[in-house]
């Protein structure tokens, strides 16, 4: 199993550009999440999904869109990049309730984004 | 709301020293508690967890005990190694359905030879 994969690893954008951060998992997890990591702030939840076709907002959703057309994929879209979106982005997945390891999150390696 | 408090560091220790990283929490319900570790350039990975009061999670020589009376989950290791240098995140999650994982800010540990 590859686990949780993310692409690209690093991206530079200009203000106003759009892009999609890709995330895929091969563990058949129902739950998937996007976080951003900023110094002194830990990880903050952007959006999450509890299954294909179902998404919801986290703590800091503004400026980001998500969709979940398949169990495996959960892309994050930046609509019009701003310098405040410079961050490291992590995708995570976890099992659904009722499974022994339901509470453990599995993280991808991250995407480092710089917005100029 | 729910929150996790830990020092940001960095914590600098010599090899074979004793490690304690404090973690306290506030939660509206009865959470499960976690320590995640992030090595340089990588994503977070689960180090250990505890799901009820007085449970002790352990892994790779690290331990943490769920203390409901003090709302704490301090991470300890008896003898650290250079390879333990990383950022350590304390986290909590409430039970039931999709529940947001609340992370602390992370504590950077530097172990010097």
What is the residue-wise DSSP string for B45-103? Answer: EEEEEE-STT-EEEETTEEEE-BTTTTB--EEESS--GGG-EEEEEEEE-SSSS-PEEE
pLDDT tens-digit map of B35-94: 999 998 889 999 999 988 999 999 999 999 999 999 999 999 999 999 999 999 999 988
Which residue in the set B8, B43, B49 is minimally distant from A107, CB to CB? B43
Task: Report whether pLDDT(B22) > 80.
Answer: yes
DSSP for B21-47 reads E--EEE-SS--EEEEEEE-TTS-EEEE
Which residue in the set A58, A103, A108 is minimally distant from B93, CB to CB? A103
Closest-approach residue (CA) in chain B for A10: B41
Average pLDDT, chain B: 93
SS3 A84: helix
Query: Which among A75, A107, A81, A110 has a CA at the least distance from the CA of A12?
Result: A81
Q: Are B65 and B71 in contact (CB under 8 A)?
A: no
Record: contact A97-B96, CB cut-off 8 A: yes
End-to-end CA distance of chain B: give it in Å, rounded.
Answer: 41
Which residue in the set A43, A48, A104 is minimally distant from B98, CB to CB? A48
Indicate the DSSP class of residue A52.
T
Query: Which among A21, A34, A37, A109 has a CA at the least distance from the CA of B43?
Result: A109
pLDDT tens-digit map of B83-103: 999 999 999 988 766 778 899
């Amino acid at each position: 199993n590859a686990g949780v994969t993310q692409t690209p690893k690093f991206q530079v954008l200009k203000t106003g550009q759009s892009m999609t951060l890709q995330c895929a998992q091969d563990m058949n997890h129902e739950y998937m999440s996007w976080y951003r990591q900023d110094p002194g702030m830990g990880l903050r939840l952007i959006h999450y999904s509890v299954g294909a076709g179902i998404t919801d907002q986290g703590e800091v959703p503004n400026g980001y869109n998500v969709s979940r057309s398949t169990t495996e994929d959960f892309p994050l879209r930046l609509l019009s990049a701003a310098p405040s979106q410079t961050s490291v982005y992590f995708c995570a997945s976890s099992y659904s309730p009722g499974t022994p390891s339901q509470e453990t999150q599995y993280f991808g390696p991250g995407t480092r984004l710089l917005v100029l | 709301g729910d929150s996790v408090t830990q020092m940001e560091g960095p914590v600098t220790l010599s090899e074979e020293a004793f490690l304690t990283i404090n973690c306290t929490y506030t939660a509206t319900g009865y959470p499960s508690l976690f320590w995640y570790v992030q090595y340089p350039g990588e994503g977070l990975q689960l180090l250990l967890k505890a799901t009820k009061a007085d449970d002790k999670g352990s892994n790779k020589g690290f331990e943490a005990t769920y203390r409901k009376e003090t709302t704490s989950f301090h991470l300890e290791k008896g003898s650290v190694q250079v390879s333990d240098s990383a950022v350590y995140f304390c986290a909590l999650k409430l039970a039931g359905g999709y529940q947001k994982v609340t992370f602390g800010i992370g504590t950077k540990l530097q172990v010097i030879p």
